[in-house]
Amino acid sequence: MTFAEETGELRSPGLPGIEGFDTLIYGSPPLAYPAVLSQYMIYNTPDPDYVTGRINVSAFANLGAATPWPFTNTDVPINGHICIPRGRGPFPLAVFAHGNHNPFENSTLGYLYLCQLLASHGIIAATIDVNFLNGANFGENDARAIVHLEHLKQFRSWNNTAVHPLHGKVDLNRILIVGHSRGGEAVGHASFFNRLAAIGPVVLDGSAGLGPYRFGLSAAAAIAPTDRQFVPATGPTVVPDSYFIIHGSKDSDVYTFEGYHTYERAHAVDLANPTVSDGKFKAMLWVHKANHNQFNSVWAPETPPGLAMPRPSQEQIARVHLGALALAVLLDRREYFAVLRDHSVATAWDPAGTELVSQYQNPQRIFIQHNQEGLAPPVVSLPVQGTVTADGVAAARQLTALVGGAPTTTITLRLAWNGAGTQLLLQVDPATLPAEHYKAIALRVGQSNEIANTANRDQDFTLEVSSGSRTAAFRASSLHRLLFPDPPPFGPAKIVMQTLRLPVARLVQCGVDPSDLRSIALLFDRRETGVVYTGDLQFTD
């Protein structure tokens, strides 16, 4: 499918929409902030219709004792900024949360640029104050999640209050939660907590002030998140809702791309039921030259001048891709899923020359090879039946942390070749692979910075798909660039796989019968040497 076919009449989701909107402050007065916290005094005089209560987060967090907050952890305020479209609604809701930063600087306003964009498209958008959890603290991201959910509860309360200006205006079945940094980790926990009746000794039925939640979360989006700073008693959080993550290669705060692990855990294959899907999608955008802080418009960059892309470029990328997500999941503009499936759809809208890597997993999929069976030689994954032959290519499954940092639990397949013409051949029994029911073949693959790959040169190979006597061949580079890893500010380079999507319609055009598909081969004929890592191969929508 060409760019024009894919986008049709699509307009950049990063451009303002046509809806007028009002921006208001909500807060929990009286709040006697001392002079050193003067940036928060705005929450002492909220819009009169938007006065909120306090919540008790003492079961989850202490407040940093080095910051003179005018409240304790038993009565923290519900403060924030809202952009509300004019009109009757009901409007979907998007709520942004910042991460850890100097608590003497109010981080909340840093996402107003995104709230204003979404409001102009007809979405109520808020950015919330979680600054009281900031400082040299650790393990408090469960509290950030609770604060995020309590803000959603505040919107539900206003929506259900007959005399309130937001009465009946909030569509509580269309909610997007977005968090940056530790707030990005927290949206994963919030997605998990949203379905719980209790967390340890804390009941979430409202009887002790917190909960109930059970909101209709359309997706959780994480901007440069941390991972596993808080770990539930049940183990690392597996995000149950649709999940989107964006992270920059020059991030010099969360320099280990922690969110990669969150992404891999979400909507992973269930080995006991490999064909069963939980009905959710996940998408990833890896942005070369983006840093950590410039996604928040008030945080000074953490990188030295010239290392990262300019702030306006980074904000533009956030507008385009978070805008596309919001339009797709909140406004049913399903055509914007094209941007999530393939970032090249947004090339004309992103800053010129931006290099991106993206992954997308649709809920409708069948794995041909997911590699999670173990570290033994690669196989075709059940229930699809077939064989794998490595012809001149060293194929080894590895528990390699492709992004450095913490150990991984996700197995990838490393393919190394030395001499053109080698191949990895998957032969399948067509009776076990209903390929004709899907729209595309999707392969996650990325090159490393090992010496077999030429620095700063795209990697390439040929994808051959055969049915009966017909074979169609496609250069990987015709589907997407396989970028050389961008050098990190420090620490190891990240190997970020790109999802290559080959439409089944193109196979059919080439005479390949998807109902009689016999083999898929990765033919390493474009470069003399190379090393690539593959995650999974699937037929998908």
Which residues contribute to the site for other proteins (CB under 8 A)? 58-59, 61-67, 73, 99-103, 134-140, 181-182, 200-202, 224, 226, 228-231, 252-256, 258, 292, 302-304, 307, 404-407, 489-491
Query: What is the nearest approach in angstroms of other proteins to the Cβ of residue 99?
Result: 5
Give φ, ψ of 217 to 5 degrees: -85, 120
Enter the DSSP assignment of 93. E
* 220 and 191 Cβ atoms separated by less than 8 Å: yes
Compare residues 261 and 280 and give the one whose CB is closer to other proteins: 261
Query: What is the nearest approach in angstroms of other proteins to the Cβ of residue 396?
Result: 21
C-alpha pair distances (Å), 370 with each of 57, 66, 310: 41, 48, 38
Query: What is the nearest approach in angstroms of other proteins to the Cβ of residue 320?
Result: 24
The total of other beta-carbon atoms located within 10 Å of residue 87's CB is 12
Query: What is the nearest approach in angstroms of other proteins to the Cβ of residue 301?
Result: 12
Compare residues 184 and 530 and give the one whose CB is closer to other proteins: 184
Residue 63 CA to its chain's centroid (Å): 29
Work out the end-to-end distance of the chain between its first and last CA atoms, rounded to an integer number of angstroms. 14
* 132 and 71 Cβ atoms separated by less than 8 Å: yes
Nearest residue to 371 (alpha-carbon basis) of 497, 505, 482: 497
Compare residues 3 and 138 and give the one whose CB is closer to other proteins: 138
Compare residues 201 and 279 and give the one whose CB is closer to other proteins: 201
Compare residues 117 and 496 and give the one whose CB is closer to other proteins: 496
Nearest residue to 127 (alpha-carbon basis) of 81, 172, 93: 81
Residue 384 CA to its chain's centroid (Å): 29
Helix (H) / strand (E) containing 261: helix 259-265
Compare residues 386 and 488 and give the one whose CB is closer to other proteins: 488
Query: What is the nearest approach in angstroms of other proteins to the Cβ of residue 66?
Result: 5
Enter the DSSP assignment of 332. -
Task: Please report the DSSP string for 224-237 in residue order.
Answer: S---SSS--TTSS-
Query: What is the nearest approach in angstroms of other proteins to the Cβ of residue 491?
Result: 6
CA–CA separation, 43 and 71 (whole Å)? 13
Compare residues 102 and 456 and give the one whose CB is closer to other proteins: 102
Query: What is the nearest approach in angstroms of other proteins to the Cβ of residue 265?
Result: 15
* 169 and 88 Cβ atoms separated by less than 8 Å: yes
Give exposure, 54-83, as e/b (b: 16+ Cβ within 10 Å).
bbbbebbbebbeebebebebeebbbbbbbb
Query: What is the nearest approach in angstroms of other proteins to the Cβ of residue 254?
Result: 5
CA–CA separation, 230 and 377 (whole Å)? 35
Give exposure, 181-210, as e/b (b: 16+ Cβ within 10 Å).
bbbbbbbbbbbbbbebeebeebbbeeeebb
Query: What is the nearest approach in angstroms of other proteins to the Cβ of residue 160?
Result: 29
Compare residues 21 and 255 and give the one whose CB is closer to other proteins: 255
Compare residues 17 and 248 and give the one whose CB is closer to other proteins: 248
Compare residues 401 and 500 and give the one whose CB is closer to other proteins: 401
- 124: tokens are 């109520």
Query: What is the nearest approach in angstroms of other proteins to the Cβ of residue 234?
Result: 14
* 91 and 168 Cβ atoms separated by less than 8 Å: no
Query: What is the nearest approach in angstroms of other proteins to the Cβ of residue 407?
Result: 6
Query: What is the nearest approach in angstroms of other proteins to the Cβ of residue 494?
Result: 13
CA–CA separation, 513 and 518 (whole Å)? 9
CA–CA separation, 470 and 39 (whole Å)? 68
3-state DSSP assignment of residue 324: helix
Compare residues 155 and 295 and give the one whose CB is closer to other proteins: 295
Compare residues 156 and 265 and give the one whose CB is closer to other proteins: 265
Helix (H) / strand (E) containing 15: none
- 252: tokens are 């010099």
